[in-house]
Structure 1
């Protein structure tokens, strides 16, 4: 399924919302553009939403890394020079529903532009055989853990045997698009495209992908022609003659202070702990280790029963999304439980913070596509002193040393995000064993 392929980090609640086109929260908003009756307007929006392709950049503008917020553009009826822009976000508690942040009326110049191939995700821009081509790239690149350590069941599926590499290429391509670094050239009268993967071969050369036009009547305008390094591989002659053996790499970090933990020397360390919003630490409870959740539920039979039922469900069905929602709502309503979970993550944060300030290299940066900024990944240990369970995403408040927690990620999600910027050492807490070395 394209939705699952393109948004590898999409949480299950939001996945269900996008698939099911759930507009129940959106339609409750009282704000509508001038000239519309509310009921007529929301019927119009609902119809446009049902019929739209969420990956058509003419209609959608995703601006959060986990695709939890976007702008939905609709032509204004009988006013072709204007569009209605709806800023939508995921509800903090009812995460399988949408809510409306804002409505704006804009000139239709942007919507009227022809859909450009430069706005397409990699899988719709070019045809690649992920079984064969990913294996070829992994073969000539320096050895890395391109298979997940945390999801061994994926190895049984050939499509996911290089799931990390696939994610890396998709996101690198996305950044190159933003920077206009997908390079076009002509060789012997035929058009080609090329981009720098950012990977290094076993003989220390940059690895490039070369594309030529796809066959007629195909979905993607391009197909992979070859994987090469300067002087080696299929397409190396084209790389040399048409691209002069080089296309630029993606750049994610412009201010390296953003990628470094900076503390205020005039304040005690314990006063600089990142702050955590009550919403965020429960918003993705499905990412927490089951044994930690069970531990916090030990004195609440009803909550334990809800969670036990969750554990018995098939993850591929929509039923589990509704059950997670019901479970989270129960936790949010039950003050004692909510405080227990909050105390658990605050304790884990304080414990990790003590070691991070002594070993700041344990921090891993990630790039937030929505905010176009670098965030930091902090290891969290929730149920064992050495075992890293989650990564806390933190970012500094503008103009200060104070950090705040944005969300939590599974280690696999965090690895994919961190690897996009640079390779991780074999003993890094995101790549090596699940233990965090405290010595």
Structure 2
């Protein structure tokens, strides 16, 4: 999971670096002739930022950069990076407005049923004992779970968990199909371009949902835990 998190964090920072003005590029990923460094967005147990530090690989024919260690905001003074450059390093930015993370309870959810039910890989995520009753049964059950989860969201905004997909924020909502206390799936939601409806693109297992959500931050939700 950490490997995936670091990979996607680097990819996001690299894209932000590419889009930035020349004078700001080093604030996303610092690179010179000998070292490279970025802010992982993670913190150690004393809440100091953790930095990913690389050196130029001296060996010919190998990848150009070699990871050496993680530093925090104190130990990085032992590196070749100046304090000013460290302080300037930004965390990856995953949303432009806090409203991107809030579910509008007044909007309807339109599921993509063909994708959820008729693509085998996705259908197999539904618990086996439910699949045995057929697709129509599963559709009716999921439809009821969607109506129910809107009430949960209204009662507790932390029911909704954000995830990042192709550079855009999506929302995860739990679907309780077999047990009212333990969700079986997470419905992936995104807001339509005109902000009039949420599209339910697919259903993920809770393990998949946690891994996706963790790329942004540790989920602070009662239903999505490692």
Q: Give TM-score, length-normalised by structure 2.
A: 0.85
The alignment partner of 1:377 has SS state of strand
Please point out which of 94, 100, 115 is paired with 1:258. Answer: 100
For 1:317-332, list aligned pairs within 5 A.
Answer: none
Residue 340 of structure 1: how far off its partner (Å): 1.7
Residue 245 of structure 1: how far off its partner (Å): 4.3
The structure carrying a bigger strand percent of its residues is 2
Residue 215 of structure 1: how far off its partner (Å): 4.2
Once the two structures are superposed, residues 176-206 of structure 1 have per-residue CA deviations (whole angstroms, 9 ceiling, x without a partner) of 11111222135xxxx1110110001112211
In structure 1, the gaps of 5 or more residues are 1-163, 265-271, 297-336, 433-439
In structure 2, the gaps of 5 or more residues are 18-27
2:163 aligned partner: 366
2:68 aligned partner: 225
Please point out which of 28, 39, 44 is paired with 1:196. Answer: 39
Conserved? CA contact 2:105–2:153, under 8 Å: no
Residues 340 and 214 (structure 1), Cα distance of their counterparts in 2 relative to 1, 3 Å cut:
same
Please point out which of 166, 171, 177 is paired with 2:3. Answer: 166
Residue 354 of structure 1: how far off its partner (Å): 1.7
Conserved? CA contact 2:192–2:198, under 8 Å: yes
Residue 208 of structure 1: how far off its partner (Å): 0.2
1:177 aligned partner: 14
Residues 403 and 242 (structure 1), Cα distance of their counterparts in 2 relative to 1, 3 Å cut:
closer
For 1:131-150, list aligned pairs within 5 A.
Answer: none
Please point out which of 164, 180, 185 is paired with 1:390. Answer: 185
Residue 376 of structure 1: how far off its partner (Å): 0.7
Residues 285 and 218 (structure 1), Cα distance of their counterparts in 2 relative to 1, 3 Å cut:
farther
Residue 293 of structure 1: how far off its partner (Å): 2.2
Distance 1:400 1:246 in 2: 35
For 1:254-403, list aligned pairs within 5 A.
Answer: 254-264=96-106, 272-282=107-117, 283=119, 284-294=122-132, 296=133, 337-369=134-166, 372-403=167-198
Q: If you compute each CA radius of gyration, which structure gives the higher value, 1 or 2?
A: 1
Q: Give TM-score, length-normalised by structure 1.
A: 0.45
Conserved? CA contact 2:130–2:138, under 8 Å: no
Residue 248 of structure 1: how far off its partner (Å): 1.3
Distance 2:92 2:38 in 1: 9
Distance 2:62 2:143 in 1: 48
Residue 286 of structure 1: how far off its partner (Å): 2.3
